[in-house]
């Protein structure tokens, strides 16, 4: 199980700069001409979690293994991409299967960097991109609708159910509204399986100039308002600074950031916000070999959480020894937690909580 975020935006807004900084590779070439990225780039990034740094010390583990999140960088979209403008919209196929959308918006002024729309206006840009995502969704649904209608006439129940689910979404999209606004209550899971772009949760990343990295600017403020209205997430970063930070050795980063008046890395904030947006939770396993973080979705029960490590763990699940993070730290580890009566044995109905330290008992 891996979770991933697709990065969208106009050309030249800093998607690849951000992606590179995130993945600390030069895999996605960032260059000052629109449409630099043609092939999609996929990168896995570690999810920073200060709790794991503590656990590795208490557990005296040899290795620390964070959990990860995947990012997919695609080519920029332009107004009319669905009709073939720019590089077209076929790249969107590469992010249909992602779990969330990271929408990078240019909020920095720089006359040397071409803006395809002629000037900086992130709210307008957000509308352009959203329109292209909606048109792509509409096209995809209309294509499927024809085939499903044929099957439905032959009394195919599944096709009929699919059509029923799709109809309100098509109406909304034709009306210029994202599909998420028309998903019937209780059918979020079925709707997600349609792999539409405009049902995915959105995180706006405002790429501001260096001087505004700590505070944001008027452009990012306008985006924040829009995000609030939509219930979307928003993070302010300077992709240029993040690109520099990613080149520095780990031990020099904090000082560099502090020198710029920043308390933490913007990338960490993007990753954390992406994690939250996806409703993800972390549990830990701690042993002499490794202290490790694992990702689950909120509400998952112990056997399904075990499956993240290995399918056998789920099949042969018997129970799990569980210590809450705060107890583990307060009791200085597993032995202490056991003595203090803070180690619980939980069964297959246990809903795993964020921060739990788990040890699975299984039999295969
Ligand atoms: N001044 C300034 N320039 C930036 C910033 N972020 C990116 N750039 C520059 O803008 C240009 C385009 O950046 P990319 O990251 O390649 O843009 P992109 O969104 O991936 O573009 P496409 O792949 O063409 O869609 C590069 O020359 C970057 O150096 C920033 O925060 N400030
Ligand atoms: Mg790019």
Q: Which of 15, 23, 25, 30 to mutate to test the pocket of ligand 1 (most atoms within 8 A of CB)?
A: 30
Locate the ligand 1 atom nearest the alpha carbon of residue 30 and give its number: 16
Q: Residues with beta carbon inside 6 Å of ligand 1?
A: 9, 11-17, 30-32, 34-37, 75-76, 108, 110, 113, 207, 209, 238-240
Same domain, 263 and 334: no
Give the pLDDT of residue 117.
86
Q: Which of 195, 271, 259 is nearest to 233 (CA)?
A: 271
DSSP state of 333: S
Helix, strand or coil, per DSSP, at residue 176: coil
Query: Each residue of 174-184: pLDDT tens digit?
Result: 999 999 999 98
pTM of the full structure: 0.87
257 with 312, same domain?
no
Task: Note the pLDDT of residue 131.
Answer: 95
pLDDT in tens, 62-73: 999 998 888 898
Atom of ligand 1 nearest to the CA of 10: 25
CATH at residue 303: 3.10.20.30
149 and 270 housed in the same domain: yes
Domain match, 138 and 258 both = yes
Residue 1: pLDDT over 60: no
Give the helix/strand (H/E) hosting 344. strand 344-346
Distance CA 100, CA 94 (A): 13
Residue minimizing CA distance to atom 26 of ligand 1 = 32
Would strands 357-362 and 317-323 be described as parallel, antiparallel, or unpaired? antiparallel
Terminus-to-terminus CA distance in the chain, angstroms? 21
DSSP 5-37: EEEE-STTSSHHHHHHHHHTSS-S---SSTT--
Question: Does residue 307 share a domain with residue 171?
Answer: no
Q: Do 207 and 245 belong to one domain?
A: yes
Two tokens, residue 183: 């998903």
Q: How many domains does the chain have?
A: 2
> Is the domain of 238 the same as that of 316?
no
Which residues sit in the known binding site?
12-17
Q: Does residue 283 fall inside a structural domain?
A: no
What is the spatial distance between Cα 264 and Cα 301, in angstroms, rounded to a whole number?
A: 33
Count, in order, helices (H) and strands (E) of the chain: 13, 12
218-255 tens-digit pLDDT: 999 999 999 999 889 999 999 999 888 888 887 888 89
Take atom 3 of ligand 1 and give the residue whose Cα is closest: 240
Same domain, 267 and 308: no
Name the strand (E) or helix (H) holding 317.
strand 317-323
Q: In what order do the strands lie in the sheet with 202-207?
A: 41-46, 68-73, 4-8, 100-106, 202-207, 233-237
* Residues 36, 103 share a domain: yes
CATH number of the domain enclosing 186: 3.40.50.300
Return the residue whose CA atom lies nearest to atom 7 of ligand 1. Answer: 14
User: Separation of 87 CA from ligand 2 center, angstroms?
Assistant: 12
Find the angle CA(241)-CA(242)-CA(244) to the nearest 5 degrees.
65
**Same domain, yes or no, for 196 and 113?**
yes
Question: Domain limits at 323?
Answer: 299-362
Distance from the CA of 29 to the center of ligand 1, in angstroms? 10
> Could you read off the pLDDT of 38-53 as tens digits, one per residue?
677 888 888 889 999 9
Alpha-carbon distance 357 to 352, whole Å?
10
Same domain membership, residue 193 and residue 96: yes
Q: Which residue has the higher pLDDT, 265 or 348?
A: 348
> Are residues 22 and 154 both part of a single domain?
yes
């Amino acid at each position: 199980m891996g979770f991933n975020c697709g990065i969208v935006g106009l050309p030249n807004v800093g998607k690849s700069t951000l992606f590179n900084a995130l993945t600390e590779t030069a895999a996605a070439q960032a260059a000052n001409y629109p449409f630099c990225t043609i092939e999609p780039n996929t990168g896995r990034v570690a999810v920073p979690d200060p709790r794991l740094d503590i656990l590795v010390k208490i557990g005296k583990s040899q290795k620390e293994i964070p959990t990860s999140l995947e990012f997919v960088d695609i080519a920029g979209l332009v107004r009319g991409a669905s009709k073939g403008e720019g590089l077209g919209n076929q790249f969107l196929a590469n992010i249909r299967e992602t779990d969330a959308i990271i929408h990078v918006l240019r909020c920095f002024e720089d006359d040397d960097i071409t803006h395809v729309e002629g000037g900086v206006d992130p709210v307008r840009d957000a509308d352009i991109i959203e329109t292209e995502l909606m048109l792509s969704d509409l096209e995809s649904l209309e294509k499927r609708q024809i085939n499903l209608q044929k099957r439905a006439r032959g009394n195919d129940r599944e096709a009929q159910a699919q059509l029923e689910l799709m109809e309100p979404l098509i109406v909304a999209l034709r009306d210029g509204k994202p599909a998420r606004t028309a998903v019937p209550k209780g059918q979020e899971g079925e709707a997600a399986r349609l792999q539409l772009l405009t049902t995915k949760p959105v995180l706006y990343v405002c790429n501001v100039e260096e001087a505004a990295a700590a505070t944001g600017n008027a452009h990012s403020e306008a985006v924040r308002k829009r995000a609030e209205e939509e219930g979307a997430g928003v993070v302010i970063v300077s992709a240029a600074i993040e690109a520099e930070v990613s080149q520095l050795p780990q031990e020099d980063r904090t000082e560099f950031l502090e020198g710029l008046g920043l308390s933490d890395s913007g990338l960490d904030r993007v990753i954390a916000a992406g994690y939250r947006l996806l409703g993800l939770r972390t549990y830990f396993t701690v042993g002499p070999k490794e202290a490790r973080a694992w990702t689950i979705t909120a509400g998952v029960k112990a056997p399904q959480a075990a499956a993240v490590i290995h399918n056998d763990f789920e099949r042969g699940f018997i129970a799990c020894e569980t210590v809450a993070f705060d107890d583990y730290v307060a009791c200085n580890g597993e032995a202490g937690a056991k003595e203090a009566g803070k180690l619980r044995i939980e069964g297959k109905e246990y809903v795993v909580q964020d921060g739990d330290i788990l040890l699975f008992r299984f039999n295969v």
